Amino acid sequence: MDVACYYCPLLLTCVFLLTNGQQAANSSSSCGTMELCVTEQRCNESDDSGRSIIRPRMARTCGQGLVCCDQEQLESWDAMQVTATAAATRAASTAMPQEPSKYESCGLNMECVPRKLCRDNKIIDDGRFILNPRIGDTTCPRALQRCCAVDQEVEPNDSPYISKLGEFKYKGCGYRNALGLIPDEDNYEYQKDVALFAEFPWTVALMTGRFQYLCGGTLIHPQLVLTSAHNIVNQTVDTLLARFGEWDLNSSDEPYEYQARRIKQIIRHEEFDPAALFNDIALLELVLPVDIQPHIQPLCLPPPETPKLQAELRSALCFATGWGARLLDSTSNERLLKRIFLPIVSRDECQGLLRVTRLDKRFRLRPSFLCAGGIKGEDTCKGDGGSPLFCMIPGQVDRFQLVGIVSWGIDCANEDVPAVYANVPYLRSWIDEKVKSLGYE
């Protein structure tokens, strides 16, 4: 074999590669000095010329599937991609998982929130926000919650109710907020015997040291509360806490927060009888006075008992409030403050009605007691002890005076069986004596 022919295949391969290299050089040289030969897809995706208006900055082809593309366009695109990738990486590394909302959904971008945390207090029905109503018409499960657009929710300090505090002017003791302090254009259906929020701003919830509801009370002065002696007979100043402006014991949805105060001194009636419950009254002095606000105001005291006052009370509009059970066999107290209409019953009539119960015919109603009720299904019950019974002051509208303190009864809500209350007009002189001894007017 000729030695020269042995190298012929290698020589042909070299010639082929050289030829292809010359063709590639010739193709690249067809692009301009400010252009690069890239795929058509890469040139299109990096286009910054406004493709829909003018054509992208690419010119001649420089090979199969390749085009000459503007170098500045490509460099700008590559730099933007690097920046975007870095930003995405930083965001992923620092982003915190979003906390799920603690409120229940009531529609698209709507949540059931405390009414005080929704910017608008009325349903918008004039078309202003027809595409995005701020408060929906869905009924929320809790009394003071409303269906609110998420973008209308506010922080507690920005609540629309806060501004109303500055407008409040105290008129004096005993004035009822007849419509409550919550506008109810969305028609939440309360039970018939539930008080509106702050309707009776003198009602006090007395709690144990473990924040469990114990009994009711009545604010009669910014630093004084009246309650029943029997409910706190085993309590001390260290085990009692008073809440003012309370309404729903199981939530903080109220538009105005309750105020809590410790007890400085407990003064029980010296002649209180824990077995027969005579003189069932106690005065609590607070460590600090409460701040008088729309939902926290004292109740007026009545004048001392006279035949004229007794007659006036029998014809007056009277209510009792409390968080006690509705029925004797209930296993728990109520969550929302109750409001019960109760007529005053004369002493002789009450004594006669109670004598046909298991108290028997020799029962004698002592003067430190006063009776109210006897209407089937309407009564104070267990858990209501210490709570107020109050009647409208003659000749005044929606102004009330304290006449009784829930004390005891024969079962609950039976027809012709009145409940028995500590008689505040009869005990008025004792109250005055103790208040004066403490240095209060």
Q: Each residue's pLDDT tens digit in the chain (441 positions)?
A: 444 444 444 444 433 333 444 433 344 447 777 788 888 788 877 776 555 444 444 445 677 778 888 788 888 778 777 777 766 666 555 554 555 667 888 888 888 888 788 876 443 333 333 333 344 556 787 878 888 888 888 887 777 777 777 788 999 999 999 988 876 554 567 788 999 999 999 999 999 977 899 999 999 999 999 999 999 999 999 999 999 999 999 988 888 999 999 999 999 999 999 999 999 999 999 999 999 999 999 999 999 999 999 999 999 999 999 999 988 888 889 999 999 999 999 999 999 999 999 999 999 999 999 999 999 999 999 999 999 999 999 999 999 999 999 999 999 999 999 999 999 999 999 999 999 999 997
Residue 104 lies in a domain: no
Task: Write down the pLDDT at residue 364.
Answer: 96
Q: Which of 412, 409, 390, 408 is nearest to 399 (CA)?
A: 390
Residue 170 lies in a domain: no
Task: Write down the pLDDT at residue 123.
Answer: 36
Say yes or no: 325 and 413 in one domain.
yes
Sheet harboring 400-408: ordered strands across? Answer: 338-341, 318-322, 388-392, 400-408, 418-423, 369-373, 344-345
For residue 124, give Cα distances in angstroms to 113, 127, 129, 146, 420. 17, 7, 7, 13, 48
Say yes or no: 265 and 341 in one domain.
no
* Whether the model pTM is above 0.75: no
Q: Is the CB of residue 259 less than 8 Å from the CB of residue 245?
A: yes
Task: Write down the pLDDT at residue 301.
Answer: 98
Say yes or no: 358 and 397 in one domain.
yes
Say yes or no: 393 and 342 in one domain.
yes
Phi and psi at residue 60, to the nearest 5°: -70, 160
Task: Write down the pLDDT at residue 126.
Answer: 39
Residue 243 lies in a domain: yes
> How many structural domains comprise the chain?
2
Q: How many whole angstroms separate alpha carbon 295 and alpha carbon 198?
A: 5
Say yes or no: 315 and 406 in one domain.
yes
Task: Write down the pLDDT at residue 90.
Answer: 62
Residue 36 lies in a domain: no
CATH of the domain at 263: 2.40.10.10
Task: Write down the pLDDT at residue 356.
Answer: 96
Q: How many whole angstroms separate alpha carbon 253 and alpha carbon 142?
A: 9
Single-letter amino acid code for the residue at 195: A
Say yes or no: 258 and 367 in one domain.
no
Task: Write down the pLDDT at residue 282.
Answer: 98
Task: Write down the pLDDT at residue 187.
Answer: 59
Q: How many whole angstroms separate alpha carbon 35 and alpha carbon 50?
A: 19
Residue 19 lies in a domain: no
Give the residue numbers spanning the domain of 242. 203-286
Biggest alpha carbon distance in the chain? 150
Q: For the purposes of burial, counting CB atoms within 10 Å of the CB of 413, is it exposed (0-12), middle (13-18) or buried (19 or more)?
A: buried
Residue 353, H or E segment: helix 347-355
Residue 362 lies in a domain: yes
Q: Which of 267, 249, 266 is nearest to 258 (CA)?
A: 249
Say yes or no: 247 and 334 in one domain.
no
Say yes or no: 377 and 337 in one domain.
yes
Q: How many whole angstroms separate alpha carbon 237 and alpha carbon 437?
A: 19
3-state secondary structure of 335: coil
Residue 280 lies in a domain: yes
Say yes or no: 420 and 316 in one domain.
yes
Task: Write down the pLDDT at residue 99.
Answer: 56
For residue 354, give Cα distances in angstroms to 142, 368, 385, 416. 40, 16, 19, 9
Residue 174 lies in a domain: no
User: Number of C-alpha atoms within 13 angstroms, CB side, residue 279?
Assistant: 13
Say yes or no: 406 and 364 in one domain.
yes
